[in-house]
């Protein structure tokens, strides 16, 4: 391997690294604060080297440093876009957790969860639960294969910002919000009915402290309904993840090699 070929290989490896590392830092599972940044950087480098080793990628020829910066920015943008789609998928679980915490009176518990910032208890639970379902369905392998396929469909240095379709991200945002509301709907309806019942009781028995009675009752009934609806929530998540696999595959295959 001569000097020019070695330089081209290193440039291609570095650009591939930019694509993968931006994806991993955006992807909810690998981008979690529980995984150190050093591990993610090493993992991105290992995946980049594996991609160049097992996939026939044409080395990128860069003449100037400015041209390299443009290529690097495009690769970072592509990895960020792919990771953002997955983040919108898991944001649906955060939305569901926030809605459930709001309607069960347990939203204040977020102050007792160190390191979770503004995430509520139920948001953390659904995120971990959804991650387990995602991995059990082969989501980790699917994402790695999807990244490898992206290098075939869109070789290193060939991505352009105009390839992105804003409608795709709007549809993902809509589906994310719809899934979050669908998961939380049993708890929302239960809280609404319970509040109506407490309002009627307070109307006939004004002496009763509705807040002291209603809050423990709301928490207890909310947890029971959540436990009973968990199998249905699992089926809903599984179906949505499987549909997402098809949509993400279409997103990758929509790019054409130049």
- Per-residue pLDDT tens over the stretch 69-123: 888 888 888 888 888 888 888 888 888 888 888 777 766 655 555 555 566 777 7
In a domain, 219, yes or no: yes
Picking from 152-156, 158-162, 237-241, 252-256, which range would have the lowest pLDDT averaged per residue? 252-256
Q: What is the pLDDT of residue 114?
A: 53
Q: How many helices (H) and strands (E) does the chain have?
A: 7, 0
Burial class (CB within 10 angstroms; exposed 0-12, middle 13-18, buried 19+) of 5: exposed
pLDDT of 1 above 50? no
Residue 27 maps to a domain: yes
Q: What pLDDT sits at residue 254?
A: 66
- Measure the CA–CA gap between 165 and 168, rounded to whole angstroms: 6
Quick check: is 44 in a domain? yes
Q: Is residue 2 part of a domain?
A: no
Is the confidence at residue 15, as pLDDT, over 80?
Answer: yes
Backbone angles phi, psi at 106, to 5 degrees: -110, 15
Summary mean pLDDT of the chain: 77
Distance in angstroms (rounded) separating the CA atoms of residues 191 and 122 = 16
The answer as to whether 1 is a domain residue is no
Q: What is the pLDDT of residue 85?
A: 80
| Domain-located, residue 81 | yes
Residue 168 in this model has a pLDDT that exceeds 70: yes
Answer whether residue 258 shows pLDDT above 70: no
By residue range, what is the domain housing residue 246?
7-254
Can you give the pLDDT at residue 3?
46
Residue among 188, 155, 168 at smallest CA distance from 75: 155
> Is 242 a member of any domain?
yes
Q: What is the pLDDT of residue 4?
A: 43
- pLDDT-derived band at 256, boundaries 50, 70, 90: low
CA angle 11/15/72 to nearest 5° reads 110
Angle between helices 139-153 and 210-253 (to 10 degrees): 40
Question: Can you give the pLDDT at residue 216?
Answer: 79
Domain count, the chain: 1
Q: Yes or no: say if 120 and 97 are a contact pair by the CB < 8 Å rule.
A: yes
Give the separation between CA 94 and CA 117, rounded to whole angstroms. 13
């Amino acid at each position: 391997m001569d000097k020019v070929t070695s330089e081209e290989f290193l440039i291609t490896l570095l650009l591939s690294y930019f694509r993968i590392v931006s994806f991993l830092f955006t992807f909810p599972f690998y981008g979690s604060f529980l995984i150190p940044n050093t591990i993610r950087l090493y993992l991105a480098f290992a995946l980049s080297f594996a991609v160049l080793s097992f996939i026939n990628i044409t080395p990128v020829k860069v003449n100037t440093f400015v041209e390299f910066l443009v290529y690097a920015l495009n690769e970072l943008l592509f990895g960020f876009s792919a990771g953002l789609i997955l983040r919108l998928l898991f944001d649906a679980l955060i939305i569901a957790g926030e809605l459930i915490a709001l309607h069960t009176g347990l939203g204040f518990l977020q102050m007792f969860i160190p390191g979770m910032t503004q995430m509520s208890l139920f948001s953390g639970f659904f995120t971990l639960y959804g991650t387990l379902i995602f991995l059990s369905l082969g989501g980790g392998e699917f994402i790695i294969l999807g990244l490898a396929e992206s290098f075939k469909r869109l070789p290193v240095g060939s991505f352009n910002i105009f390839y992105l379709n804003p409608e795709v991200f709007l549809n993902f945002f809509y589906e994310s919000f719809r899934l979050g509301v669908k998961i939380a709907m049993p708890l929302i309806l239960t809280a609404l009915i319970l509040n109506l019942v407490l309002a009627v009781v307070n109307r006939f028995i004004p002496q009763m402290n509705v807040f002291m009675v209603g809050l423990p009752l709301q928490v207890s009934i909310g947890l029971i309904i959540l436990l009973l609806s968990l199998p249905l929530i699992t089926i809903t998540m599984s179906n949505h993840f499987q549909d997402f696999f098809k949509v993400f595959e279409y997103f990758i295959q929509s790019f054409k090699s130049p």
